[in-house]
């Protein structure tokens, strides 16, 4: 596969569109009473960069998130969107599972599907929020590292400037 040909640059056009959209969105948010800090376009751009990276990471869906791993029981954080049919009764259990699957579920499928779609949305929101928290934690860790490195370097002595 060859490189991008000369002519109109897609990358340049898309960047220009993204800049326009960013500017308009920032102005709209400020006009609607959004955070005052967004009056500074650099702050807004940085916030957008961090949140977008988290959203894109969540979009990809393949990268693991740390927060659920750290939870004592990550299963308890996960919405269970599917039905598991089971019965603890030894004798009548088979019949009860059959009745649930073949009679009750078809009758209540519309309600199940409505709830399931909403559970899925909630699950996506949860993952998005986990990804945002993680992205902010990464930023924080990097900033701490940079701050630590700066503090370790002694400030230039006043003699040196004379």
Query: 71, 130 in Cβ contact below 8 A?
Result: no
Is residue 11 near another protein by the rule CB under 8 A? yes
CA 5 – CA 7 distance, rounded (Å): 6
Residue from 48, 67, 81, 138 binding another protein (CB under 8 A): 81
Q: Choose between 3 and 159: whose C-beta lies nearer to another protein.
A: 3
Exposure string for 68-99, b = 16+ CB within 10 A, e = fewer: beeeeeeeeeeeeeeeeeeeeeeeeeeebeee
Residue from 36, 69, 73, 75 binding another protein (CB under 8 A): 75
Query: 77, 71 in Cβ contact below 8 A?
Result: yes
Q: State the nearest-atom distance from the C-beta of 93 to another protein, in Å.
A: 18
CA 41 – CA 27 distance, rounded (Å): 9
Is residue 10 near another protein by the rule CB under 8 A? yes
Q: Choose between 13 and 141: whose C-beta lies nearer to another protein.
A: 13
- What residues line the site for another protein (CB under 8 A)? 1-5, 7-11, 13-14, 17-18, 20-21, 24-25, 56, 59-62, 75, 78, 80-84, 105, 116
């Amino acid at each position: 596969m060859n490189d991008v040909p000369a002519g109109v640059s897609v990358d340049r056009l898309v960047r220009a569109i993204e800049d326009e959209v960013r500017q308009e969105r920032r102005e709209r948010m400020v006009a609607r009473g959004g955070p005052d800090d967004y009056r500074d376009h650099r702050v807004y751009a940085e916030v957008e960069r961090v949140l977008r990276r988290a959203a894109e990471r969540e979009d990809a869906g393949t990268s693991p998130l740390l927060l659920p791993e750290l939870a004592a029981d990550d299963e308890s954080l996960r919405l269970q969107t599917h039905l598991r049919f089971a019965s603890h009764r030894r004798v009548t259990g088979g019949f009860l599972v059959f009745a649930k699957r073949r009679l009750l579920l078809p009758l209540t499928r519309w309600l199940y599907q409505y709830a399931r779609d909403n559970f899925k949305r909630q699950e996506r929101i949860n993952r998005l929020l986990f990804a945002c928290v993680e992205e902010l934690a990464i930023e924080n860790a990097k900033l701490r590292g940079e701050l630590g490195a700066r503090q370790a370097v002694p400030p230039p002595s006043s003699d040196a400037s004379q």
